[in-house]
């Protein structure tokens, strides 16, 4: 069976400590939680940072602070992926500016956000080409089959380089949307013409089941408090590491194993 790259999305853009007291928001807390998740089996961390009021931020300085704190704690090989999520606050120009300033080893971006302004199509294509040239690992966020088809069209047009690309299929939604279901993965896979590595994230308490289905289908997984606060039995998880540990243990019982840090870096070309 194909080993799994486990990424932990430890905080997200919307939840706060009012949702869970262990949700990390400061650079120190982000570093502590990242190392716990790595010890539990995660080989990558999906990072969000906040401003002084706890709101979502794309401030490069705050990202640099969080990354430096994680590295200072000894996590030299842990993959650190930053988000460029707009959350209705940021434009494509600002998303690209974060990456150009920070120069992270890995970042995620929603296709429907980055390509939202047709007048920027040329600049966005040049930006992504430069990221590929610099060896950054880019994860493209796809919310439905239409996003998958748009990704393929952009790749065929030369706007998205496939050499450093991976895909993230998002199951479910924030709030009161339909529950995440493992079967939804099949719709994403059926829509693809190009087949880069792919991962799944899933909103709500079915997160673990959706991630297990992805792993059994040959994909990777992203899990954590950004999308879900509950263990599969319905109990509130004490922290992100508990979600990772439970999944890793269940996966190993089925003959799957998490990638080591060197293996994960090799898979992403880092």
CATH number of the domain that 144 lies in? Answer: 3.20.20.70
Residue 82 pLDDT greater than 80, yes or no:
yes
Report if residue 207 sits inside a domain: yes
Q: Which of 73-77, 189-193, 206-210 is least confident?
A: 73-77
Quickly list H helices, 106-183: 111-114, 121-133, 145-156
- Does residue 33 belong to any structural domain of this protein? yes
Average pLDDT over residues 52-57: 93
Confidence of residue 178 (pLDDT cuts 50, 70, 90): confident
For the segment 99-108, the average pLDDT, to the nearest whole number, is 98
252 within domain boundaries: yes
* pTM exceeding the 0.85 threshold for the entire prediction: yes
pLDDT value at 112 more than 90? yes
Helix (H) / strand (E) containing 9: strand 6-9
Helix then strand count (H, E) for the chain reads 10, 10
In the predicted model, is pLDDT for residue 175 greater than 90?
A: no
Task: List the structure tokens of 270.
Answer: 């880092």
- When divided into structural domains, the chain yields a total of 1
Query: Average pLDDT, stretch 9-16?
Result: 95
- Domain annotation covers residue 195: yes
Q: What percent of the chain has pLDDT over 70?
A: 99
Contacts of 201 (CB under 8 A, 6+ apart): 9, 168, 169, 170, 171, 207, 211, 221, 222, 223, 226, 227
Task: Give the tens place of pLDDT for each residue, 198-248.
Answer: 999 999 999 999 999 999 999 999 999 999 999 999 999 999 999 999 999
Residues in the chain: 270
Q: Residue written as tokens 């993230």?
A: 168
Does residue 179 sit in helix, strand or coil?
coil
pLDDT above 80 (res 177) = no
87 in a domain, yes or no? yes
Q: Is residue 136 part of a domain?
A: yes
Question: Please, how many CA atoms are within 13 Å of residue 241, restricted to the half-sphere of its CB?
Answer: 13
Q: Is the residue at 128 inside a domain?
A: yes
**pLDDT classification of 1: cutoffs 50, 70, 90:** confident
**Is the residue at 1 inside a domain?**
no
- pLDDT tens-digit map of 156-168: 999 999 999 999 9
Q: What percent of the chain has pLDDT over 90?
A: 96
Q: What is the pLDDT of residue 90?
A: 96
pLDDT tier, 179 (very low <50, low <70, confident <90, very high otherwise) = confident
Tell me what the pLDDT averaged over the chain comes to.
96
Domain of residue 235: give its range. Answer: 6-267
Taking each helix axis as running N to C, give the angle between helix 207-216 and helix 184-191, from 0 to 180 degrees, rounded to the nearest 10: 40
């Amino acid at each position: 069976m194909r080993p799994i790259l486990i990424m932990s999305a430890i905080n997200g853009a919307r939840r706060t400590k009012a949702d869970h007291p262990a949700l990390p928001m400061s650079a120190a807390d982000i570093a502590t939680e990242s190392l716990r998740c790595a010890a539990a089996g995660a080989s990558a961390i999906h990072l969000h940072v906040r401003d002084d009021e706890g709101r979502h931020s794309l401030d490069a300085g705050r990202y640099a602070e969080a990354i430096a704190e994680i590295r200072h704690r000894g996590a030299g090989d842990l993959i650190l992926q930053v988000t460029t999520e707009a959350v209705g606050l940021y434009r494509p120009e600002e998303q690209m500016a974060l990456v150009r300033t920070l120069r992270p080893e890995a970042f995620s971006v929603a296709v429907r956000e980055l390509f939202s302004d047709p007048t920027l199509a040329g600049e966005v294509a040049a930006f992504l080409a430069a990221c590929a040239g610099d060896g950054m690992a880019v994860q493209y966020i796809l919310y439905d089959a239409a996003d998958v088809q748009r990704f393929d069209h952009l790749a065929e047009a030369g706007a998205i380089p496939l050499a450093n690309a991976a895909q993230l299929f998002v199951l479910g939604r924030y709030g009161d949307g339909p529950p995440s279901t493992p079967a939804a993965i099949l719709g994403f896979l059926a829509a693809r013409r190009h087949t880069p590595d792919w991962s799944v994230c899933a909103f709500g308490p079915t997160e673990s089941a959706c991630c297990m289905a992805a792993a059994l289908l040959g994909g990777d997984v992203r899990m954590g408090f950004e999308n879900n606060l509950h263990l599969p039995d319905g109990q509130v998880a004490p922290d992100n590491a508990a979600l990772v540990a439970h999944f890793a243990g269940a996966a190993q019982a089925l003959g799957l194993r998490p990638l080591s840090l060197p293996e994960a870096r090799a898979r992403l070309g880092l």
